[in-house]
Amino acid sequence: MNCWKSYNIKKEIGLHRLYLISTLIGVLAFIILYVPYSIVHNSIEVNEYGIIPLLIAVILLPAMHSFMHIISLKIMNKSALIVIKRTYKWFPVFTYYTKSHVTKKVSLLTACAPTIFITIPGLAASFLFADFYVYILLFTSLHIGITFIDFWYINHILRAPKQSFIQKDKDGFDILLKLNEEAGQLN
């Protein structure tokens, strides 16, 4: 395997800029989503009992997001090394590393998994549960902001050659190409 390109989002965008962009995307998503949902639920009062579950869900959101990546790998029978880090002594954050390189399709499905498993059901739930739609919409908007990183990865993976492999590491990910044995050139 030869490395075609390495990506590190912290070096390319910067950590502070990454947090700023994610926050702006989350706020913009809430503004854009709140208008049509408030039109649908126009005369319904928001239930005030939803604030505590919202706070708990927001605290657990990074762990749930990472866990969705891991679940998608397990569904596809791919092995992954799971590292649990604790931030602020209590809140776990899951980090995963694949034990071997994975194909481009598996990487794309893994990157899309939190959007499929959290964002889309959140949008449907905010439509169905009218008393709590604002809280569910806030949670979903925050998750849309977090998924900015996933879509940045998806953008770069889509630009990779068709037969490439992806290997996630501590600092980002590498796009690998198999060396052609007969010609000695990259595919």
Instruction: Give the pLDDT of residue 2.
Output: 85
Asked whether residue 182 is assigned to any structural domain, the reply reads: no
Asked whether residue 187 is assigned to any structural domain, the reply reads: no
| Whole-number Å distance between alpha carbons of 118 and 121 | 6
Instruction: Give the pLDDT of residue 88.
Output: 67
With CA atoms as reference, report the closest residue to 142 among 58, 65, 64: 58
Summarised one tens digit per residue, pLDDT across range 35-85 is 999 999 987 888 888 899 999 999 999 889 999 999 999 999 888 888 887
Summarised one tens digit per residue, pLDDT across range 3-36 is 888 898 888 888 899 999 999 999 999 999 999 9
Which tokens in the block code for residue 112?
């899309």
- Is the pLDDT at 182 greater than 70, yes or no? no
The residue type found at 183 is A
161-187: average pLDDT: 75
| Whole-number Å distance between alpha carbons of 120 and 55 | 20
Q: What 8-state DSSP symbol labels residue 45?
A: P
Asked whether residue 184 is assigned to any structural domain, the reply reads: no
Q: Which three-class secondary structure state does DSSP give residue 96?
A: strand
Q: How is 7-36 classified by DSSP, letter by letter? A: E-HHHHT-HHHHHHHHHHHHHHHHHHHHHH
| Whole-number Å distance between alpha carbons of 154 and 16 | 21
Asked whether residue 112 is assigned to any structural domain, the reply reads: yes
Structural domain that includes position 112: 2-177
pLDDT, mean over the chain:
88
| Whole-number Å distance between alpha carbons of 122 and 180 | 45
Asked whether residue 150 is assigned to any structural domain, the reply reads: yes
Provide the strand spans (E) within 10-134.
Answer: 80-87, 91-98, 102-103
Residue 58 makes CB contacts below 8 A (sequence gap 6+) with 138, 139, 142
Q: What 8-state DSSP symbol labels residue 119?
A: I
Asked whether residue 183 is assigned to any structural domain, the reply reads: no
Asked whether residue 90 is assigned to any structural domain, the reply reads: yes
Domain count, the chain: 1
Asked whether residue 37 is assigned to any structural domain, the reply reads: yes
